[in-house]
Chains A and B, each alone.
Chain A
Amino acid sequence: EAGVAQSPRYKIIEKRQSVAFWCNPISGHATLYWYQQILGQGPKLLIQFQNNGVVDDSQLPKDRFSAERLKGVDSTLKIQPAKLEDSAVYLCASSLDAGTDTQYFGPGTRLTVL
């Protein structure tokens, strides 16, 4: 069974530029999460989708971050404009459904903002 796929693996941009990350969850997984992991810290949730609906985006900086999961499968996370403090690893995770608490993580996208 294929795992969670993410691309790109690495991205370097200058501040005030925009960037987008893509995630394809495990086939059949209805729940999708985006986490931000700053160096030396544990991941923190940005947004959670159930199919194509948002369940929790309370920690998403909505003035610059946006995410969508239009067809309930893959998802895109965008930052516009980027700030230096956005340098982090962005992790996508998925779980089977609303009644499953085990999450499976992708390899992450490491973003460096200069």
Chain B
Amino acid sequence: GNSVTQMEGPVTLSEEAFLTINCTYTATGYPSLFWYVQYPGEGLQLLLKATKADDKGSNKGFEATYRKETTSFHLEKGSVQVSDSAVYFCALNPFSGSARQLTFGSGTQLTVLP
């Protein structure tokens, strides 16, 4: 079956620190990979995506590279801000380019202190 395993939280960093949130996956097909962010009291917002091996998704200073050999899609940011405090979800769609259900990880709570 399909599954996503995320780094356990919560994660607390100081402003301008480097961020890594680990994500590994198991999929039976050729998945698309996503990172979503959920701010307090809001729904999920798409942060970035990658659709095939070695693709790099990027947005708002965040990056993640689709690594097929290690089945990973780790999220990184070079310098976090207080406004990045949120819950981050890694997700996969088992069939890239097709409208199918997303399988999500359990989420990682990030708190950035000033």
Contacts and interface: CB of A to CB of B under 8 A. Distances in A.
Interface of A: 4, 6, 31, 33, 40-45, 48, 50, 55-56, 91, 93, 95, 97-108
A97 B46 contact: no
Shortest Cβ-Cβ A-B pairs, 4 listed:
A42-B104, A45-B101, A105-B43, A105-B44
A49 B21 CA distance: 32
B81 interface: no
Interface size class on chain B is 20 to 34
Nearest to A58: B101
Contacts of B45: 105
6 contacts: A42-B104, A43-B89, A48-B100, A93-B44, A101-B95, A105-B36
B86 interface: no
Contacts of A106: 43
Contacts of B51: 101
Interface in B72-114: 89, 91, 93, 95-102, 104-107
Given A42-B91, A101-B99, A102-B49, A107 B104 contact: no
Interface in B16-40: 32, 34, 36
A107 B41 CA distance: 8
Nearest to A4: B43
Given A91-B43, A108-B43, A101 B106 contact: no
B42 interface: yes
A77 to B, nearest CB: 15
Contacts of B106: 40-42
A103 B49 CA distance: 11
Contact of A43 (B96, B98, B102): B102
A99 B98 contact: yes
B46 A104 contact: yes
